[in-house]
Structure 1
Amino acid sequence: MKSHSDFFHGADTTWQKVAIVRRSLMFISIFLIECITVYWFANNLSPSFPLLLQTLIVVPFAILLFWLQLGFFTAIAGLWVSFRRGRFRILPSQDSPISPLDTQNTTAILLPIYNEDVAYVYAGLKSMYQSLKDQNALDYFEFYILSDSDDVSIRLQEGATWLSLCDELDAHGKIHYRQRKHRKKKKSGNVMDFCRRWGKRHPYMIVLDADSLMSGTTLQRLVSVMEQNPKVALIQSPLYTSGVSTLFSRYFQFLNRLYGPVFFAGLHWWWLGESQYWGHNVIIRTQAFMDHCDLPRLERGGHLDGDILSHDFVEAALLNRAGWETWLAFNLENSIERPPPTLTDAMKRDRRWCQGNLQHWHIIWSRGITHMQRFLMLGGILSYATSAVWLVWLLVLSYSAVVYPDTPVIPNTEGTLALTLLSIALLFFYKLFGLFEAFKDHAIKNFGGWINASLGITAESIISILITPVKMLYYTRFIIEILAG
């Protein structure tokens, strides 16, 4: 019987060839629908509209249609993956055996923190430590609390709580605490500082966030899979949310848990060994990271200069450029983060992410970046820029309705009905895919059964309809503020 490593790496270039086929299939499908729909749309605009107005109607429509199709086909791919036991899963199954781990070279578990809720951070660390202890796996791991906090009272609390926790758990020598005096390059600099100090001691590092939680089994499984795949530098866990009970966070958790499995599987289907890195809940080969991921400051003479904020996307691209593989373990369980409690908190976070993603415009053109990673960084930009495109489109349509009140944008024809049905499919069918996936995996009971899950989808859809225009305005404002400096 083949080992996991033989099973996965039977041929060095197999996944690369399959990736070309899969991506070609998906993007040709998107291209064909795009061409047919945009051609029909453009040819059915009122001839009384001037050319400039027609262009301002058609171009945003084409961009938005492409973006919706990308999500739709990703969900279809995820549904396909759920029916098949594919050869290209970095983790064959959640129940695959964990191989014996190396006790001489421990894996570092990093908690980079910056003025966080100390009690919450240490409670999460304690939970993970206890989970590993219960499974007799503590010998394989060491914890590092990497503090960049600049609030003196918080730093004092961090140090005192660390000592107290080490005493409580008898964990002196297993849980380390470091304060950095100068917060150079923010989180990416914090992790790289760890690498310079202690990286040689640990072949792998599991990078967490202040609100991350992972079970002992999940931590061990990540190390086991990494050891069996020597060409892999990074394995990203899927991110599921839990831990907050506000209305917004419950809404966020519902869509994350119901639709997440389909989208994670779909992303894996066309990413394969060129996965993105989402900043935390990830295992990284330490030496590869040290060799290729010491990021410079951007100095292009514009408003996007400075530290690279969305460093994780860039680090994955640099690892791929160096010949390493990066994978999404889409079927891994018990990888948790805390959702933002309110829409305001979510927008504060998105403001940072928006600036970081816009910075990628400079990095996309760097020499040696793979075409896949260029596209993924462009996708990160579009995740915010499409809001501005949508707003412009709505304003243009409003202008046409005022200036040409007796002229509909599109006449009422059979094609109009087809366009309406296509829009409904692109906007809502993924919800049915998520519901079907939950039923197939016997997870529907976690949502209270079919009826409660269906009611939940209805409520989530209503909230999304209300929130999406608000996010559109926020994202457009972010882009204007960032580009204006």
Structure 2
Amino acid sequence: MLARKRSGNWRRVATFRRLLLTLFVVGQTLVACYFLLWVLPYHGGTLVELGLLVLFALLYMWIAVGFWTALFGFVLRLVGGDRHSLLKRHAGAGLEATPLARTAIIMPVYHEPVRWTLSGLKAVYQDLERSGHLDQFEFHILSDSRDPDVWLEEQATWYRLCRELGAEGRMFYRRRRVNLNFKSGNVADFLRRWGRRYRYTVVLDADSLLGADTIVRMVQLMEHEPNVGILQTAPSIINGESLFARVQQFSNRLYSTLFATGLAAIQMGDAAFWGHNAIIRVKPFMEHCGLRKLRGFGLFRGPIMSHDFVEAAYMGRAGYEVWLEPGLGSSFEESPPTLSDELSRDNRWSRGNLQHLWILLFGRRLRLAHRMALLNGVMAYMASPLWLAFLILTTVEAVQMTVASIDYFPEGQGLFPLWPEWRPEWALGLALTTLSLLFIPKFLAILDAVIHGTARQFGGVLRLLVSVLTEIVISVLLAPVRMMAHSRYVVGALLNLSLTWAGQNRTRETTWRDAFLTQFPGMIVAAGWSAFAWSLDPMFFLWSLPVAVPLILAAPTSVLLSRVGPGQALRRWGMLVIPEERVPPQVLEDAREARRNGSEDSVLSAVEAAVVRPRLNRLHQALARNVRRSRRAELLAPLVACCGSEGPASLSRSELSQLFRDRQSLAELHQLAWRAPPDSFWGQRITSLGRNR
């Protein structure tokens, strides 16, 4: 009864807030469209101008939603926070005294930097151990890695962590042999096998860190709110080293405070799930959030790649609530270190988000708020081709007004001619008001930091202001580059072009060669467009520069932003600094310490170590299967002989995987290696191992 009463209360509040947001966004968009009509020469009297009006309305509405969300967040923080949030409901000693339920902490991985990734998991484990709540938690590393050099290193690192932490029977490793349905399939496989052991599961990404206090608080909130199916934190980006990563880290940490607060207040119990740094109630998730394959065509057929928003929608459809709680701190993730890496990630994400169109249109009994969240995910990438189309139509309009003779009857014969009118001052005013929607939230974030006393943690008011201006300049330079890349990704996704799914780079800088190969098409298009604009009309040329110049400079911008040196120089000057760099949380310190002190075997690859080192060989045997009992026995014997005589380079990745999944093959390879002559491949590897002891 109490749960139903609370649900009714927040739903009434949410409805009022969403109607208020809709009123502001739609009203502001209508006013902007009215001004645009009077800016256009024929006032919407041609098909080109009607197209411009429609595209402008969609893009302006998209920007306005973000503006008003940030403004809502600013106002709520000004009055002390949202009193309807979960943390506000359960503040006090009663929450802290709540007993914990059995919870799994899972980390799905796929071809990630092994030592770096598992050092983060080690830090989470140590933080929970210090908190005194470790007994209620178990850790699971869920691997989908296919490369033997990666998954053998994962197994070895997991074993070493268990010994270091005394985590035997508490930290587990499982690698799927059949990689189906991406990350969602990985999590689903875990839940089918072991989900009934736990009431909750906390989902981490490979680059996630969660403090023990946050994990414990999430479990306690879930215990007090039995109707909540998913509780999502708002992760902050950390560990930025390159200039690009530091800009992303700074903007996320400063601006997301307002945006996350506003978004949580509008969505309330109909929030989105971001796939990581969240806690899930296992039973309803298993019962209601299974993802069927899409039954459409092309991109809209097959497994759902971007699963998180859909799972939140299914949880809501089943009557459970999904909450975003920005007040839960100590939630961290990492940013791609370069623009190229971010765009590669966006290429994957765009396909998954565009699949949401099918669910948005044909999903049954989904709540309106979750449909809007799916639309928001689609627009995150569709906004770029819409912007590009707007630029194309603007160019067509400029050509018609400059080259072609004036048409006083643009839509056929009529009683009265339509006189074209130019109002440059209105156009300038409309452009400035549109830009203000993008930039005002950034300065509101500065004001928020000053009001709440956190500006000092960002380096002081003056450094904070200069950091924001630096971030604005870099964002302006990157916006057209992202527009071109996202437009290409959207077209490729809709045409269902193939895509390779790979792990993320977290350390490498961008070379000049890679930058020019990636950005050269956009640079050529921008230079050609700008030259055409100059030949057409000098004013149109000046109008094109804010888009053309960043595209022409895309390659050097990409290289510069990938460099660690400029990013660290700004950090020394107190620029682009975040509070967690001045006073790092303990879990972050533990992760950095583990990554600094972790030992890497530079002498042997993971495959070679699995064969040569006796302890590792026994470990991998224990995790392998007796494949020889099956029909594959005839295939494995010649592979063992080949690898034993010529080394692993003589076999393909698939053949090596078959060998190292078989217990008997591992034992035979170990014996062959240690019996090999000193001048053979394995003899040389053993000799080099002895020299480096």
What TM-score do the two structures reach when normalised by structure 2? Answer: 0.67
Map of 1:309 onto structure 2: 305
2:15 and 2:43 map into 1 onto residues whose CA distance is: 44
Map of 1:54 onto structure 2: 49
- What code does the residue aligned with 1:225 have? L
Equivalences for residues 103-114 of structure 1 within 5 A? 105-114=101-110
Map of 2:205 onto structure 1: 209
SS in structure 2 opposite 1:273?
coil
Bigger mean CA deviation after superposition, 168-177 or 45-54: 45-54
Q: Residue deviations 1:21-62, cap 9 Å, x none?
A: 100011011111122221232244212986112112211111
Deviation at 1:9, TM superposition (A): 7.4
Q: Residue deviations 1:211-233, cap 9 Å, x none?
A: 10011111111111111101100
SS in structure 2 opposite 1:172?
coil
Map of 1:465 onto structure 2: 476
Determine whether 1:371 maps to 2:368.
yes
Aligned 8 A contact 2:39 2:424 in 1: no
Deviation at 1:93, TM superposition (A): 8.9
Equivalences for residues 335-374 of structure 1 within 5 A? 335-364=331-360, 365-374=362-371
Bigger mean CA deviation after superposition, 44-53 or 23-32: 44-53
SS in structure 2 opposite 1:177?
strand
Q: Residue deviations 1:90-145, cap 9 Å, x none?
A: 12299855434546x42100001111111011110111111111111111211111
Bigger mean CA deviation after superposition, 449-458 or 155-164: 155-164
Map of 1:189 onto structure 2: 185
Map of 2:492 onto structure 1: 481
Deviation at 1:432, TM superposition (A): 1.1
SS in structure 2 opposite 1:92?
helix
1:467 and 1:189 map into 2 onto residues whose CA distance is: 34
Aligned 8 A contact 1:234 1:284 in 2: yes
Taking structure 1 as reference, are residues 292 and 409 closer, same or farther at Cα in structure 2, changes over 3 Å only? farther
Map of 1:425 onto structure 2: 436
SS in structure 2 opposite 1:183?
coil
Aligned 8 A contact 1:41 1:410 in 2: no
Map of 1:11 onto structure 2: 6
2:479 and 2:445 map into 1 onto residues whose CA distance is: 20
Q: Residue deviations 1:325-354, cap 9 Å, x none?
A: 000011211100011100111111111111
Q: Residue deviations 1:293-339, cap 9 Å, x none?
A: 11111121223322111100000000000000000011211100011
1:334 and 1:114 map into 2 onto residues whose CA distance is: 24
Map of 1:456 onto structure 2: 467
What is the CA RMSD across the aligned residues, in angstroms?
A: 2.0
**Equivalent of 1:69, from 40, 50, 64?**
64
Map of 2:378 onto structure 1: 381
SS in structure 2 opposite 1:234?
strand
Deviation at 1:262, TM superposition (A): 0.3
Aligned 8 A contact 1:101 1:224 in 2: yes
Q: Calculate percent identity across the aligned residue pairs.
A: 38
1:357 and 1:298 map into 2 onto residues whose CA distance is: 13
1:121 and 1:433 map into 2 onto residues whose CA distance is: 35
2:479 and 2:342 map into 1 onto residues whose CA distance is: 13
**Equivalent of 1:42, from 37, 42, 46?**
37
Q: Which has the higher helix share?
A: 2
Taking structure 1 as reference, are residues 227 and 94 closer, same or farther at Cα in structure 2, changes over 3 Å only? closer
Q: Residue deviations 1:141-167, cap 9 Å, x none?
A: 111111111111111111111111111
**Equivalent of 2:281, from 262, 281, 285?**
285
Aligned 8 A contact 1:93 1:331 in 2: no
Bigger mean CA deviation after superposition, 402-411 or 373-382: 402-411
2:211 and 2:455 map into 1 onto residues whose CA distance is: 23
1:49 and 1:289 map into 2 onto residues whose CA distance is: 50
1:343 and 1:142 map into 2 onto residues whose CA distance is: 36
Q: Residue deviations 1:351-397, cap 9 Å, x none?
A: 11110111011111211011111111111111111111111111221
Taking structure 1 as reference, are residues 409 and 302 closer, same or farther at Cα in structure 2, changes over 3 Å only? farther
**Equivalent of 2:394, from 392, 397, 402?**
397
Aligned 8 A contact 2:83 2:89 in 1: no
Deviation at 1:251, TM superposition (A): 0.5
1:35 and 1:267 map into 2 onto residues whose CA distance is: 23
2:146 and 2:43 map into 1 onto residues whose CA distance is: 62
Determine whether 1:25 maps to 2:20.
yes
Aligned 8 A contact 1:94 1:332 in 2: no
**Equivalent of 2:423, from 411, 422, 425?**
411
Equivalences for residues 81-230 of structure 1 within 5 A? 81-84=76-79, 85-92=81-88, 96-97=92-93, 98-100=95-97, 102=99, 105-230=101-226
Aligned 8 A contact 1:273 1:327 in 2: yes
- What code does the residue aligned with 2:440 have? F
Taking structure 1 as reference, are residues 96 and 48 closer, same or farther at Cα in structure 2, changes over 3 Å only? closer
Deviation at 1:425, TM superposition (A): 2.1
- What code does the residue aligned with 1:76 have? L
Structure 2 spans left out of the alignment, 5+ residues: 407-419, 497-693
Q: Residue deviations 1:222-272, cap 9 Å, x none?
A: 111111101100000002100130010001001001101000001011100
SS in structure 2 opposite 1:303?
helix
SS in structure 1 opposite 2:402?
coil
SS in structure 2 opposite 1:64?
helix
2:56 and 2:422 map into 1 onto residues whose CA distance is: 13
- What code does the residue aligned with 1:20 have? T
Q: Residue deviations 1:437-470, cap 9 Å, x none?
A: 2222222112100110100011100000000000
2:43 and 2:132 map into 1 onto residues whose CA distance is: 76
Taking structure 1 as reference, are residues 432 and 9 closer, same or farther at Cα in structure 2, changes over 3 Å only? farther
Map of 1:252 onto structure 2: 248
Aligned 8 A contact 1:102 1:140 in 2: no
Structure 1 spans left out of the alignment, 5+ residues: none
Aligned 8 A contact 1:304 1:482 in 2: no
Deviation at 1:273, TM superposition (A): 0.3
**Equivalent of 1:298, from 262, 270, 294?**
294
Aligned 8 A contact 1:244 1:338 in 2: yes
- What code does the residue aligned with 1:189 have? G
Aligned 8 A contact 1:212 1:337 in 2: yes
1:120 and 1:96 map into 2 onto residues whose CA distance is: 37
Bigger mean CA deviation after superposition, 55-64 or 82-91: 82-91
Bigger mean CA deviation after superposition, 280-289 or 11-20: 11-20
**Equivalent of 1:322, from 318, 336, 357?**
318
The structure with more radius of gyration = 2
- What code does the residue aligned with 1:320 have? G
What TM-score do the two structures reach when normalised by structure 1? Answer: 0.94
Q: Residue deviations 1:166-218, cap 9 Å, x none?
A: 11111111111111111111111111111111111110000010110011111
Deviation at 1:423, TM superposition (A): 1.6
Map of 2:451 onto structure 1: 440
Bigger mean CA deviation after superposition, 195-204 or 298-307: 298-307
